[in-house]
Amino acid sequence: MRNCPNCGAPIDPYMVHCPYCNTYYFDLTAFDCSKKCFVKFKTSINGQECYVTALAKPTLEDATIESNTMDCVDPFGNKLVSYATGRTCNLHANFCCQVNPEDKTLFVIEVEE
């Protein structure tokens, strides 16, 4: 068992969201970046909801952590203190699709009725 990163409740890592606070999570710890895996995601094509499944090799391109600060100044304009107004972490993952050797497909699109 693991804990929800939002509320701390125990969660099943095979579920897609926390049953307590309904936070969605995407756990990539099971991926071995040296091996291919099937990736399935929901999207919309021409206004129609569908699922796309593809054989891909995952790679983490980069991770960037940024912090914005704001200065507090006295009536004379002298800086007294700086504080963080926001922090972000940008993760850039790449899933390079490859042809499935079993059926020679690049990806499969399933349309939801």
The proportion of the chain whose per-residue pLDDT surpasses 70, expressed as a percent, equals: 96
What residues contact 62, with CB distance under 8 A and at least 6 apart? Answer: 91, 92
What residues contact 56, with CB distance under 8 A and at least 6 apart? Answer: 36, 37, 38, 39, 95, 96, 97, 98
Which of 95, 89, 90, 91 is CA-nearest to residue 31?
A: 95
Query: Does the pLDDT value for residue 92 go beyond 70?
Result: yes
Query: Does the pLDDT value for residue 100 go beyond 90?
Result: no
